[in-house]
Structure 1
């Protein structure tokens, strides 16, 4: 089975992606940071051992590649030596986000309790704020505020270590792949 389809939840429709490089059945898939990861499965030819290869399909540009002899996060491998952790191999350059402060939200703070250095952007959604920070090499964290009729985004350039409880605000720190 080489056919790949993805369901776009926000658009409520299915799209076809490029076919897998290796036909397989019994595979697992997950969507993470804009990529559809197809892991495991047994090749349709019957000769491909489980976990012998892994593919990542980038939904954004529809490119795909294969990582052979993958290891799972727990270290169980397939296909012999020369492996690398799937998460590391596929997502080493990915940006991961850690929310600081209480689950109800909070304002970003530096180690000295200050607001630190940041650029403020108005009328930017929380998702837009995340995307701006992800695209900016100098940005180490973002704070998104949504209070009544306005939205504000702070792109932080000084290390953020905590968040203080403030309704209507969220603070996320940028972390890079494993």
Structure 2
């Protein structure tokens, strides 16, 4: 069943768990020092306490704990050798199409892009890839973790199938629909 929220849509294969939420995230640190007018340019919500809430999509082959980090803390330690975790974190339109986010379009995953040294902290056997890119005036990070580096030829194609099924609604359409200012 497809899930769509905040301009993100995904229909994961059978057996995958999916969540699309708006969370105070690591991505919230990007706009520090921007004017309130600039903060309104992203698909985000600014809480009264100043926290910036942005869309995050998580897809996984195991149950997603309610208490998990943007990039999978609380989940990736639980992965078995056949499991996959995917995180798509939005960073906001104010950084889209430039610098780290200059690459255009959803990345294509390949086993050669995964390595144990690409994890935020070392976890025995695990392997990860990380891609920064923009789609339709929105900036993202795609972080993918597989349960076994030695099994990457079998598990990365499963992750790639989910990523190919991700759809990002462009910023202009969201503005036209009133979901973004």
TM-score (norm 2): 0.23
> Comparing both structures, which one devotes a greater share of its residues to strand?
1
| Structure with max Cα Rg | 1
TM-score (norm 1): 0.23
> Comparing both structures, which one devotes a greater share of its residues to helix?
2
> Which protein has greater RCO, CA pairs closer than 8 Å, 6+ apart?
2
